[in-house]
Structure 1
Amino acid sequence: MISLVVLDIAGTTVDEKNAVYDVLAAVVADHGTPADDAALRRWMGADKREALAALTGDPAAVEDLHADFVGRLHDTYAAIRPAPLPGVPEALAALRAAGVRVALTTGFDRQVTDPLLAALHWRVGDELDAVVCASEVAAGRPTPHMIHRAMELTGVKDPAEVLAAGDTALDIRAGHAARAGIVAGVLTGAQTREELAAENPTHILDGVADIPALLRL
């Protein structure tokens, strides 16, 4: 039985028009180390500091690069107004009404995550049970640390009771690393069915909106 659903944010529960990767690409290019699409796609879902260090080859500049990334992303979000993906608020409500806890995990830190969730009116204790940022654990995806932290925060001890879902290969790898009972790829983000299928998820879903039906709620 699934008692905890752990979901990514951008591209999985929130439509932000792929802004995070457009901004990431711009910051890396302005550093003088432009990355091609294949390189950027390898870092989808990762901790953004880790991505910036890898893409620029300049770990010493990571904090400045990250500050630039956060500032640009705030400006972009103010212009595009991120919104929940279709059916996601209803899915979250159905899960929690059935007693299934819901946690969000993200490669963003709190500088981005908290204002984004506030704009959506999503709060821990109301729409959510926990939120975990990559900066709050030892390492981001593909390690299982964010999922394990979500389990700690929600009191779930058995990973077989966890459904982990996201729109990137790294989300799926993290779910497998955590030994989650269900590891689902969703097709609402930037990666294709073929890219997700290559990671051997237990399920590929059109979106988070399909999770209640998958769990027969």
Structure 2
Amino acid sequence: MIELAVLDIAGTTVEEHGAVYVALEEAVRAAGGRPGRQDVERWMGADKREAITAMLTTPEAAPPPETVESAFADFRDRLRRAYAERRPSPLPGVPEAIAALRAAGVKVALTTGFDREVTAGLLAEVGWDDGVLDAVVCVDDVAAGRPAPYMIFRAMEATGVRDVARVLTAGDTVRDLEAGTNAGAAIVAGVLTGGLDASALGAVRHTHLLPSVAAIPALLGLPG
């Protein structure tokens, strides 16, 4: 039986209209980088500082730390403005799915490539900052972000789940699936509510492809 569902945030449980990747690309360009669409897609779901560093790295040199920090601060400012202009909201059926999982005794944790400050603001926007979830793990809580499995393990630690064979993970990016596989989760589900289609997600090791997180209760044989 699944005891813990570990779910990504942006594009998986929360509709934020792709603002994170627009803000990321714009911040990298403002810092002197020239990322293309494929470059941004390659870093979907990753630690944002790591993504900025990679996209600013040239064959000659990596960017100095102060450049990365400046670009990261710019990214957060751009994202904050984007969320103010177009508020994020839970994806359809997700609040109901989370409620159904928790009613059945399945704990629900969110993980994200955002840092704690950005995450806290985002969850407050969608009304998930108090009592809706069992745990929230941010990239700055662990030694490395996705595809490392550490955020999943931290979610297990936070919720008291000891057996990874009782863990389900779900996300909308390649790195989400890689992290779930690296953790050894029993169910590693890709969801099609983000920026990648079934072809892109299906090319990565997984156990299921789902239209959305809303399909998870049915997958587990729970009432929706």
TM-score (norm 1): 0.98
Q: Work out whether 1:210 is the aligned partner of 2:215.
A: yes
**SS of the residue 1:44 aligns to:** coil
For residue 55 of structure 1, report the CA deviation from its aligned partner: 0.5
CA contact (8 A) 1:70 1:111 kept: no
Structure 2 unaligned segments of length 5 or more: list them: 58-62
> CA 1:39–1:196 in structure 2 vs 1: closer, same or farther (change >3 Å)?
same
- In 2, the alpha carbon distance for the partners of 1:72 and 1:39 equals 19
Runs (4+) off by over 6 Å: none
Return the alpha-carbon distance in structure 2 between the equivalents of residues 100 and 80 of structure 1.
Answer: 32
Q: Deviations over 1:154-199 (max 9, x none)?
A: 0001101000000000000000000000000000000111111111
> What count of residue pairs does the alignment treat as equivalent?
216
Is this contact kept in 1: 2:112–2:139, CA < 8 A?
A: yes
Contact persistence 1:107–1:140 (CA under 8 A): yes
Quote the residue 2:18 is aligned against.
18
Query: Contact 2:181 / 2:205 at 8 angstroms: preserved in 1?
Result: no
Share of identical aligned residues, percent?
Answer: 60
Match of 2:83 in 1: 77
Q: Deviations over 1:118-158 (max 9, x none)?
A: 1111135x210000001110000000000000000000011
1:115 to 87, 110, 121: 121
Q: Which amino acid aligns with 2:220?
A: L
The amino acid of 1:47's aligned partner reads: D
State the SS of the aligned residue for 2:73: helix
Of 192, 197, 200 in structure 2, the residue corresponding to residue 192 of structure 1 is 197
Distance of 2:76 and 2:133 partners within structure 1? 24
> Paired residue for 2:60?
none
Shift of 1:215: 0.3
In the alignment, is the contact (CA less than 8 A) between 2:152 and 2:183 conserved in 1? yes
Q: Secondary structure at the match of 1:185?
A: strand
Shift of 1:65: 1.1
Tell me if the contact between 1:9 and 1:104 (Cα under 8 Å) persists in the aligned partners: yes
RMSD of aligned alpha carbons: 0.8
Q: Counterpart of 1:41?
A: 41
Q: 1:50 to 1:113 in 2, by over 3 A?
A: same
SS at match of 1:152: helix
1:99 aligns with 2:105: yes
